[in-house]
Amino acid sequence: MLFFWGKSHLAFESYSVFPIIGPGMTEELSKEELKRLQKKFQEFEKAPKYNLNSEEVFCICRKPDDEGQLMVACDGCDEWFHFRCMKLDPKYEKLVANFYCLFCDRLFNKGTTLWKRKCKLEGCFNPIELSEEKKSKYCSEEHGLMYMKQTLLDKVLKQESLNDQRLLNLKEVSSILREVGDCKALAKLGEELPIYSDFYPNANLSPLLTEKVAVWEKQIQQVTTDLEHLDSRLRLVLALKDFLKLLNENINIITIPDYIPGSRTKSSKSKSKNSKKSDICGFNRVILDLDKATDMDQFKAKISPYLGKNTIDPEEFKKLYQEIYPDDDDMVDFVGPDNWLAGFCLKDKRKCNKHHSWLNILADDYYLQTQLLEEKKKRLQDEKQTLMTDYNIERWETLEAEVASN
């Protein structure tokens, strides 16, 4: 399944972990718009950081955070902005994944805002359940049932006629629901001609048709296998991204005095004074084996020491980090093979030209490959279905002719 990133004006139509539309790919500004935005940024940058009462001020409105208004931190500049000033509805608070202010998005192309997909139930603005084990269109099973019941009743109780055909009543609907096996079978009910072999199991395909079906099934199975491999690789990339966040937090604890890990959104709280937070490149050479590995289990075993950790022992991490940076600023040329932290590029990702945007590029490549394979799989399935449909129609027409002749 593919997911795509959306901008704030596309809010909640989609959700993903990595952007398909990346930094620098937004619509170009006109000269007039660019001048107005640059002027607005200069005013914002030159504005006082404190008011006359020595209170720290935030956002483009330059007001203190003392009114209990919902705020969100920009992932590009770490400035805090009011939902109201950014023209964001407070009911979408739980749907913010990553936020980029107008300046970082449109002026400096640092990134675009990411929204989580909302629950399909009308009136609910919680994000959908999304994990490795479960992919849902709803925030909970309860809301999923409520949506299905509401949709079904709307269809049944609809009063207008459709092409002069009588609508089903509740009793008839209940009878149909007892007969079908699942939701997919219900959705397809009446869309296509019944399968001939379901009624006449002893009817065999011709040798030529059997051979053609076997070829299509083999190709479809190969594409399915390739998709599974890509999905496994993408999951590893996502796990690495989560692990890099953990590394950044631990580096902040070491390098920033009195550092307190905080969330990206807040309400009725002052802005954190933490500055120069760690945002490492995180490139790891073992990730290069991702495309070379033919045995995914072997690759997982190789990279597993770096992934799947929810916590890191602070003292152990500090020791590893100080082996690499004994003088805080200068990195040593060589450390021992037991220092797993040395396998990661610890440069600021904005200054690391060697591995610039490597994680996003890798993820985008997998998404593109997945899209192409899914299109190929659908095409093969459609071709096979067309072949079987023609055969099905032919058999029913033959049977109809036989019955008519008798």
pLDDT tens digits, 206-220: 788 888 888 889 999
Return the SS3 of 114.
strand
* Domain containing residue 76: CATH number: 3.30.40.10
> Of the residues 88, 115, 142, which one is the last residue of a structural domain?
115
Is residue 224 domain-shared with residue 82, that is, in the same domain?
A: no
Q: What does the pLDDT read at residue 197?
A: 67
Residue 234 to residue 365: CA distance in whole angstroms = 10
Is residue 244 domain-shared with residue 99, that is, in the same domain?
A: no
Is residue 106 domain-shared with residue 218, that is, in the same domain?
A: no
Is residue 222 domain-shared with residue 349, that is, in the same domain?
A: yes
First-to-last alpha carbon distance for the chain, in angstroms, is 52
Q: What does the pLDDT read at residue 4?
A: 26
Question: Is residue 46 a part of any domain in this protein?
Answer: yes
191 φ, ψ (degrees, to nearest 5):
-80, -25
Q: What does the pLDDT read at residue 330?
A: 61
Confidence of residue 22 (pLDDT cuts 50, 70, 90): very low
In this prediction, what percent of the chain has a pLDDT beyond 70? Answer: 72
Burial of 247 (0-12, 13-18, 19+ CB in 10 A): buried
Q: What does the pLDDT read at residue 16?
A: 37
Mean pLDDT in residue range 173-201: 71
97 φ, ψ (degrees, to nearest 5):
-105, -55
Residue 148 to residue 151: CA distance in whole angstroms = 5
- Using the structure block, give the residue that is written with the tokens 């048709």: 209
Q: What does the pLDDT read at residue 375?
A: 94
Is residue 227 domain-shared with residue 358, that is, in the same domain?
A: yes
Question: Is residue 48 a part of any domain in this protein?
Answer: yes
Question: Is residue 125 a part of any domain in this protein?
Answer: no
Alpha helix locations (H) across 47-181? 102, 141-156, 170-179
Q: Which domain holds residue 26?
A: 8-115
Mean pLDDT in residue range 276-301: 67
Confidence check: pLDDT of 306 > 70: no
* CA-angle at 94, arms to 92 and 97, nearest 5°: 100
Q: What does the pLDDT read at residue 49?
A: 87
CB 348 within 8 A of CB 354: no
Summary mean pLDDT of the chain: 76
Tokens representing residue 7 in the block: 């901008």
Question: Is residue 126 a part of any domain in this protein?
Answer: no
Is residue 352 domain-shared with residue 239, that is, in the same domain?
A: yes
Return the SS3 of 317.
helix
Question: Is residue 336 a part of any domain in this protein?
Answer: yes
Is residue 215 domain-shared with residue 341, that is, in the same domain?
A: yes
pLDDT in tens, 94-110: 898 899 998 998 888 88
Question: Is residue 59 a part of any domain in this protein?
Answer: yes
CB 339 within 8 A of CB 324: yes
> Of the residues 115, 134, 150, which one is the last residue of a structural domain?
115
Mean pLDDT in residue range 164-191: 69
Q: What does the pLDDT read at residue 184?
A: 78
Q: What does the pLDDT read at residue 380?
A: 92
Q: Within 10 Å of residue 130's Cβ, how many Cβ atoms?
A: 16
Question: Is residue 381 a part of any domain in this protein?
Answer: no
Is residue 215 domain-shared with residue 110, that is, in the same domain?
A: no
Confidence of residue 334 (pLDDT cuts 50, 70, 90): low
Is residue 107 domain-shared with residue 218, that is, in the same domain?
A: no
- DSSP 8-state code for residue 195: P
Confidence of residue 130 (pLDDT cuts 50, 70, 90): confident
Question: Is residue 401 a part of any domain in this protein?
Answer: no
Element (H, E) at 217: helix 207-255
> Of the residues 115, 144, 165, which one is the last residue of a structural domain?
115
Confidence of residue 227 (pLDDT cuts 50, 70, 90): very high
* Total domains present in the chain: 2
Is residue 111 domain-shared with residue 219, that is, in the same domain?
A: no
Return the SS3 of 168.
coil
CB 120 within 8 A of CB 137: yes
